[in-house]
Structure 1
Amino acid sequence: MKKYIYKVLSVGVIASLALQSCTDLTEPVYDAIPADQFLKTDAQIAAALGPAYSGLRGITWDWFNPSEATSDELIVPTRGGDWYDGGDWLAYSRHTWTPQHGPINGMWGFIFGNISQINQLIPVVKSNQKAVDELRAVRAFYYFMAIDAFGNVPIVTDNASVGGTKSRSEVYTFIKTELESAIPNLVTGKAYSRMTKDAALMLLAKLKLNAAVYSGSADWQGAYDAANAVINSPNAYSLASSTVANFIVQNQGSSENIWTIPFDSFKAGGMNFQMRTLHYANATTYGLSNSPWNGFCTLADFYNSFEAKDLRQAMWIKGQQYAASGAALKDAKGAPLAFVADFQKDQMTDADPEYQVAGIRSQKYEVQRNNPNGDQSNDYVVFRLADAIMMRAEAAFRLGKTAEALADVNKIRLRSGVDALTSLTAADILAERGREFAWEGWRRNDMIRFGTFSLERKFMKKLDKTRELFPIPQPRIDANPLLKQNPGY
């Protein structure tokens, strides 16, 4: 991975400098490459497209947090003086956010800022259709996030116009058309972290799996076909030995991962889940130079959905914590530092005995031991084969192919050491997706599709289906009056 990340950074810098020095984006900047040789090799294409990929590293904060902290599998409770932040984290789990919510505004900026970056790049590489189509597919991924989070958003394909709100169904059609047009021209082999044909097919499967939510009309057959194409890809992806094996520090060798975003402890920051979830004292457990922040944890009901023999239990950090020396750790009050699954308040003061130990923590992404930095070198996994199998299972189930769906679900269960199911319901599929893809950024999306996102659960204050879309941030409406607010806000 490290050789790759250095290459990406160097080519990204070259491409960024080209963009910054170009005042007329209709005229490609060739730097030291003669015009008639520009974009003739894969390396030159990769260099030109570098900025389109570097922005993806914001996904671990601007997309992951709202996608998980609003669901039933992750919460960020207030712990004394930590993690209140104006009530923003509580608003996620309570479903009480407003159009003034700062992090939701940040998510909008992350999505549309990167769409703007790609819109700048397309004229630069217009002489090479492969490069253009790769950019269109990456832009489609950002638009997927936009349609999933905000629903009714502008469709902007250049930086010369200001877009007004389009309906969610129009946005769905745009994304589908862009992907279906671009996919035949994408890289067919494995190209690490690039938007290859298989990665784009995964995105298309995910889009069509949610077609009923996004457009009002289901496309289970389309989702089935796209997922099936990835499963049967000539690239021959295979399930790793375990779920968590795909998330180790050096996970670039995974046989299961289809599309990842590269991170590096020194060169490409942002992979810091360990900082968000570990207790301050866990720095001594893992030999960390930086003190973690003692924030993110899971909810008891979700944690308890894992069977005791489920090998995916390895993602959780629970119970008494120890230093690397073996000494038992204590919390700030001198009590045993032992994480507990259940807790009664989402807004705790330092008078609450469990405020530092509330909630089981996650090591889905392996903690990088003896790390001098706050960022880790695990690559962020966007798509992997298990998701293709589970998407095919869900689509098959909706199409009435229950036996086929059951066989696919059991492939995932048996890998994790739990018994095969003998029958299958929609609730079984959602539960299995929860256990398999916990803390991977998909839970909100799944819960909305299965109709459970707005159902009552612990700490929720607002039970309202309008919460299935985030509000258009008020600062964005103030800047662009053509935008229309979503219902309920």
Structure 2
Amino acid sequence: MKKYILTAVVALATLTSCSLDEQLNDSIGKDNPQFNTLGSPAQSLAFTYTLLEGPGSPFGIWTLNEDSSDEEAKPTRGSDWFDGGKWQQLHLHTWLPSNPQITNSYTDMNRGIAYATSVLGFANATKQQKAEATFLQVYWLWLMTDHFGQTILREPNEADSVPSIYWTRSQAIDNEIAKLEAVINDLPAYTNSAGAGTATKNAGNALLAKLYLNKAVYKATDADGKPQVVTPAAFAAADMDKVIALTTAAMAGTSFTNIAGNTPGQNYFQNFAPDNGERSTEIIFSRVNEVGNGSNVFQFAYMTTHYNQAPGGYNGPSTTTDLIGKFTSTDPNDPRFSTNIPYLTTNSGLKAGILIGQQVNQSGANILTRLGAPLSFTTAFDLASSGEAQGARVIKYYPQYTSPGNPTQQVNTDFIFLSRAECMLMQAEAYARKGNFATANTLIGQLRAARGAAPLAITTLQNVNDEFAREMYWQGTRRTDQIRFGTFLNPVQGRTATTDRHVMVYPIPLIPLNANPKLKQNPGY
């Protein structure tokens, strides 16, 4: 599982943060001296895998997908979490091209595209290496298409001075599908979650399913590039048939995590626990992490917990009553909502899931605020001005400890990009979009049973959308799902207005926009 991380350590040390040249070129061409440190296709491919730390960390691409959605916000707390208004902009859909989270994410995507493309430029790369690189290239290209609507690409070995290939989002989705389909049979076979750090055939099938599922979204675009709100009728039956076949293939060899002695809730959260790669049986593709490899997965817990908890966190992001209500209105005992994990109880007093009410430490004693009041998280928050205990918190990728009360930032929790659960939900959605709610109901019923949740009738697309939220919350996918289901522009806690459809893509940052004549600013910005 860890082979790519270990072979890329030396190469990783050579990477610096994004340079002005990278922003200007919107890519890294073969002329860039950074490539000289990656002298073989194996080294280059290994390094390209390490770049998945970007979307597997909580303050870049993940933030664009979650802050803007109905399940996460970062309220300003006194002087904390204002930062020039960038977090509020994301939740309010009032962002500007200069928002640092947008510009950094754009650069991360272009860097990922460029390094994946570089592997394809090696004449001595094997078919499998090229197939894995193409998978990674398509993944990054799809992120660019999904977030920015315009995609830039250079062919392997083209100099930085060669004009980039330019695709609209309608063109991009067709090209991305074609690229991945051309190499799917050259990807290695899937073994288990411990090998999910490699792009396998299962991973390729899962990503292809996601591309076909979202294809109608990218085709629904005005002539000037402004995204349309996609309608259910736009999802072609042939594309949904592809999703069904591809997700079936992607799930082969996986099963719901079921560890002896665990409750269903403990099995669910085992997918997000330390050593999840070795113990989960659901992971199809992940960013592998090891102690000492520089991963930021630890910050998913640190960013949301209070200063006096363990970990003593940043007291920032909260979830919304919109997400909470999806549990309380159907099954408030759904273990995905809240579960006791012995490892967490012993080391911190935390629960896994959504934290509401009085918080306790590993001894069971009540935790206090900085002013000595009981630390009792409320569901209410004010985006512009909240107290330190306002807003429910989330523990999904849960912390790692060296001893009770002593968390560590050196974690070996892998970040999940593609999983059995998401594939099952995508398949259920495809059946529902074809009008077969009976099969969609069966699939989601199987998922809920594995999680220990009560049965729930699935009779509408909104029912499917809500199950995506309950299963996948805080995993960096919610914005994309909401756009596909047509709910992204709706008011949510902390945002009372319905927003304009232009915000379904982000603005192109100004430096690459001004440097590349092929790019044009997205409508509305």
Q: Does 1:335 align with 2:377?
A: no
Distance in 1 between the 2:457 and 2:196 partners? 38
Specify whether residues 220 and 331 from structure 1 end up closer, same or farther in structure 2 by C-alpha distance, changes over 3 A only.
farther
The superposition leaves residues 415-448 of structure 1 with CA deviations (integer Å, 9 ceiling, x where unpaired) of: 2333323451011000011001001111100110
Deviates more, 1:315-324 or 1:88-97: 315-324
**TM-score under structure 2 length normalisation:** 0.82
**Deviation at residue 235 of structure 1 after TM alignment:** 4.5
Say which of 3, 9, 15 aligns to 2:5: 9
CA contact (8 A) 2:201 2:250 kept: no
**Deviation at residue 481 of structure 1 after TM alignment:** 3.0
Say which of 300, 306, 314 aligns to 1:293: 314
Say which of 383, 402, 407 aligns to 1:346: 383
Distance in 1 between the 2:514 and 2:392 partners? 41
Specify whether residues 296 and 264 from structure 1 end up closer, same or farther in structure 2 by C-alpha distance, changes over 3 A only.
farther
Q: Does 1:175 align with 2:211?
A: no
Q: Does 1:57 align with 2:58?
A: no
Distance in 2 between the 1:18 and 1:422 partners? 53
Q: Does 1:88 align with 2:112?
A: no
Name the structure 2 match of 1:269: 295
Name the structure 2 match of 1:254: 280
CA contact (8 A) 1:237 1:385 kept: yes
**Deviation at residue 257 of structure 1 after TM alignment:** 0.8
CA contact (8 A) 2:11 2:37 kept: no
CA contact (8 A) 1:118 1:135 kept: yes
CA contact (8 A) 1:239 1:256 kept: yes
Name the structure 2 match of 1:239: 256
CA contact (8 A) 1:71 1:453 kept: yes
Name the structure 2 match of 1:196: 200
Name the structure 2 match of 1:470: 506
Distance in 2 between the 1:195 and 1:464 partners? 37
Name the structure 1 match of 2:448: 413
CA contact (8 A) 2:5 2:289 kept: no
Say which SS state the counterpart of residue 194 (structure 1) adopts. coil
Say which SS state the counterpart of residue 166 (structure 1) adopts. strand
Specify whether residues 14 and 302 from structure 1 end up closer, same or farther in structure 2 by C-alpha distance, changes over 3 A only.
closer
Q: For 1:452-467, what aligned pairs fall within 5 Å after superposition?
A: 452-460=487-495, 461=497, 463-467=499-503
Say which SS state the counterpart of residue 429 (structure 1) adopts. helix
**Deviation at residue 62 of structure 1 after TM alignment:** 1.8
Distance in 1 between the 2:32 and 2:304 partners? 46
**Structure 1 stretches lacking a partner, 5+ long:** 32-37, 40-44, 349-353
Letter in 1 for 2:366: A
CA contact (8 A) 1:15 1:49 kept: no
Name the structure 2 match of 1:303: 324
Letter in 1 for 2:61: W
**TM-score under structure 1 length normalisation:** 0.87
Letter in 1 for 2:164: G
Distance in 1 between the 2:124 and 2:178 partners? 19
Say which of 213, 218, 231 aligns to 1:214: 218
The superposition leaves residues 68-111 of structure 1 with CA deviations (integer Å, 9 ceiling, x where unpaired) of: 01000000010111111110000011000011111101110000
CA contact (8 A) 2:213 2:243 kept: no
Q: For 1:435-454, what aligned pairs fall within 5 Å after superposition?
A: 435-454=470-489
Q: For 1:353-432, what aligned pairs fall within 5 Å after superposition?
A: 355-370=387-402, 373-432=408-467
Distance in 2 between the 1:93 and 1:13 partners? 36
Deviates more, 1:261-270 or 1:85-94: 261-270
Letter in 2 for 1:254: S
CA contact (8 A) 2:5 2:288 kept: no
Letter in 2 for 1:356: E
Specify whether residues 125 and 413 from structure 1 end up closer, same or farther in structure 2 by C-alpha distance, changes over 3 A only.
farther
Letter in 1 for 2:128: K
Name the structure 2 match of 1:313: 337
Name the structure 1 match of 2:306: 279
Say which SS state the counterpart of residue 69 (structure 2) adopts. coil
Aligned length: 459
Distance in 2 between the 1:483 and 1:368 partners? 44
Distance in 2 between the 1:470 and 1:157 partners? 25
Deviates more, 1:185-194 or 1:438-447: 185-194
Name the structure 2 match of 1:483: 519
Name the structure 1 match of 2:264: none
Distance in 2 between the 1:114 and 1:326 partners? 45
Q: Does 1:71 align with 2:40?
A: no
Name the structure 2 match of 1:225: 242
Name the structure 2 match of 1:42: none
Specify whether residues 259 and 243 from structure 1 end up closer, same or farther in structure 2 by C-alpha distance, changes over 3 A only.
same
Distance in 1 between the 2:322 and 2:125 partners? 54
Say which SS state the counterpart of residue 134 (structure 1) adopts. helix
The superposition leaves residues 317-354 of structure 1 with CA deviations (integer Å, 9 ceiling, x where unpaired) of: 221112223321111222111111123x1111xxxxx5
**Deviation at residue 369 of structure 1 after TM alignment:** 2.5
CA contact (8 A) 1:477 1:483 kept: yes
Letter in 2 for 1:322: V
Distance in 1 between the 2:110 and 2:87 partners? 23
Say which SS state the counterpart of residue 304 (structure 1) adopts. helix
**Deviation at residue 50 of structure 1 after TM alignment:** 0.4
Distance in 2 between the 1:255 and 1:205 partners? 20
Deviates more, 1:224-233 or 1:293-302: 224-233
Say which SS state the counterpart of residue 383 (structure 1) adopts. strand
Deviates more, 1:449-458 or 1:164-173: 164-173
**Deviation at residue 215 of structure 1 after TM alignment:** 2.1
**Deviation at residue 152 of structure 1 after TM alignment:** 1.8
Name the structure 1 match of 2:100: 102
**Structure 2 stretches lacking a partner, 5+ long:** 17-29, 221-233, 259-266, 339-352
Name the structure 2 match of 1:35: none
**Deviation at residue 304 of structure 1 after TM alignment:** 2.2
Specify whether residues 133 and 311 from structure 1 end up closer, same or farther in structure 2 by C-alpha distance, changes over 3 A only.
same
Say which SS state the counterpart of residue 456 (structure 1) adopts. coil
Say which SS state the counterpart of residue 397 (structure 1) adopts. helix
Distance in 2 between the 1:24 and 1:480 partners? 18
Distance in 1 between the 2:484 and 2:269 partners? 25
**Deviation at residue 230 of structure 1 after TM alignment:** 4.1
The superposition leaves residues 277-314 of structure 1 with CA deviations (integer Å, 9 ceiling, x where unpaired) of: 1111112xxxx4xx310101101221122121111112
Deviates more, 1:409-418 or 1:399-408: 409-418
CA contact (8 A) 2:256 2:420 kept: yes
**Deviation at residue 162 of structure 1 after TM alignment:** 3.2
CA contact (8 A) 1:228 1:388 kept: no
Specify whether residues 72 and 442 from structure 1 end up closer, same or farther in structure 2 by C-alpha distance, changes over 3 A only.
same
CA contact (8 A) 2:399 2:407 kept: no
Distance in 1 between the 2:378 and 2:48 partners? 42
Letter in 2 for 1:215: K
The superposition leaves residues 164-206 of structure 1 with CA deviations (integer Å, 9 ceiling, x where unpaired) of: 6421111111101111101111112323301111111111111
Specify whether residues 375 and 70 from structure 1 end up closer, same or farther in structure 2 by C-alpha distance, changes over 3 A only.
farther
